[in-house]
């Protein structure tokens, strides 16, 4: 399905549907009972690997740590021949230039958090300056956080307008809008925040910062996928999705991919349209692929801790 060009002008979100929480939970429960075997499992794990945003977002981050993470993202095939690279390396704005140089012309994207990540508690002008700096340093993608305080205060127009302003500040960089679903409270609020982000021009909607619990769940991801689906059906525009935080095993990743395919279609099974924000997932997938290749698990000690 070709995607229509994304407008940079904020639009009024559509009326918000009421979420059937029981229905969502039952749908997720059914997906979790499924399994994928043999070659399909291997292909699914390789696809998941290619969708990972390897991330380091700690106060103790150093240029050397970022360089090591970039090396890992580019050299997964050192573990097993034929493996893809990851989709992106995600760092703070001050380390974007380091990641950009380390990745070179590999095609792996540099993503950067911005907008007073993870709290979002800063004036809009500071958030815009943060975004512009990250882009000027070479970021291909910006991961912003919404102003949850404004959202919970009912100031939805502020949230909409701020996302639109950040989108404008991104220039050619793609914008991932983090809802921090663990702080929103209900699935109805998750759907409302999803619709606001999409109306404001988000290229991706993303569940979480990974800094609070609960982070990504299949239930909130399903609600967000429905928002993407409804937007596509009414406009023809494809919006990307990124669950982040708490996805640690290949089995979980495969369940997410099944859900994406069934809810949105195979066109979304591509790193351009779906990502995992789950660095520890990479190691589990590598261990599972090694098991599929030779029948033996390697110790976790053989894999770097990100």
* Tens-place pLDDT, residues 12-33: 777 778 899 999 999 999 999 9
pLDDT band (50, 70, 90) for residue 301: low
Q: What is the set of domains in the chain, with CATH numbers?
A: 21-298 (3.20.20.70)
Q: Give the C-alpha separation, 23 to 3, whole Å.
A: 29
- What integer pLDDT is reported at residue 5 of this predicted model? 42
Instruction: Kindly indicate the confidence band of residue 280, based on its pLDDT and cuts at 50, 70 and 90.
Output: confident
Q: What's the pLDDT at 3?
A: 46
What is residue 281's predicted lDDT score, i.e. its pLDDT?
Answer: 94
CB 237 within 8 A of CB 220: no
For tokens 């609600």, what's the residue? 223
User: What is the pLDDT, as a whole number, of residue 292?
Assistant: 83
Cα 34 to Cα 47, 78, 178, 219, 252: the distances in Å are 18, 31, 29, 16, 11
Residue 172, classified by CB atoms within 10 Å of its CB into exposed (0-12), middle (13-18) or buried (19+), is: exposed
Task: Give residue 300's pLDDT.
Answer: 56
Mean pLDDT of 62-74: 97
The answer to pTM > 0.75 is yes
| Residue pair 141/170 in contact by the 8 Å Cβ criterion | no
Q: What is the pLDDT of residues 200-257, one digit of tens each?
A: 999 999 999 999 888 999 999 999 999 999 999 999 999 999 999 999 999 999 999 9
Q: What is the pLDDT of residues 95-143, one digit of tens each?
A: 999 999 999 999 999 999 999 999 999 999 999 999 999 999 999 999 9
Burial string for 274-302 (b: 16+ CB within 10 Å, else e) reads bbbbbbebbbbbbbbbbeeeeeeeeeeee
pLDDT for 43 beyond 60: yes
237 touches 231 (CB < 8 A):
yes
Looking at residue 80, what is its pLDDT? 83
Q: pLDDT over 70 for what percent of the chain?
A: 93
Catalytic residue list: 143, 206, 242
What pLDDT score does 298 carry? 61
Q: Output the pLDDT for position 230.
A: 97
pLDDT value of residue 2: 41
């Amino acid at each position: 399905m070709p995607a229509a060009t994304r407008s940079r002008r904020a639009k009024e979100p559509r009326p918000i549907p009421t979420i059937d929480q029981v229905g969502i939970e039952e749908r997720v429960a059914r997906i979790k009972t499924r399994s994928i075997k043999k070659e399909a499992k291997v292909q699914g794990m390789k696809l998941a690997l290619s969708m990972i945003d390897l991330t380091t977002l700690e106060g103790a981050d150093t240029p050397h740590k970022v360089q090591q993470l970039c090396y890992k993202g580019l050299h997964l095939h050192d573990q097993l021949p034929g493996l893809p690279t990851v989709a992106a390396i995600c760092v703070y704005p001050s380390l974007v230039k380091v990641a950009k140089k380390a990745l070179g012309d590999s095609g792996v994207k540099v993503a950067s958090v911005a907008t007073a990540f993870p709290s979002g508690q800063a004036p809009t002008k500071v958030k815009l300056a943060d975004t512009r700096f990250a882009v000027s340093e070479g970021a291909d993608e910006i991961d912003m956080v919404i102003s949850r305080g404004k959202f919970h205060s009912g100031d939805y127009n502020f949230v909409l307008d701020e996302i639109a302003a950040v989108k404008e500040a991104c220039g050619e960089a793609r914008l991932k809008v983090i809802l921090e679903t663990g702080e929103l409270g209900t699935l109805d609020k998750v759907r409302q925040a999803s619709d606001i982000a999409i109306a404001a021009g988000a290229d991706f909607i993303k569940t979480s910062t990974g800094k609070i619990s609960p982070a990504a769940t299949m239930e909130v991801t399903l609600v967000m996928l429905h928002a993407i689906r409804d937007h596509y059906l009414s406009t023809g525009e494809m919006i990307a999705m990124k669950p982040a935080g708490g996805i640690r095993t290949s089995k979980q990743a495969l369940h997410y991919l099944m859900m994406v395919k069934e809810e949105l279609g195979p066109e979304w099974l591509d790193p351009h349209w779906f990502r995992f924000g789950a660095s520890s997932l990479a190691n589990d997938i590598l261990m599972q692929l090694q098991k599929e290749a030779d029948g033996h698990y390697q110790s976790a000690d053989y894999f770097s801790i990100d």
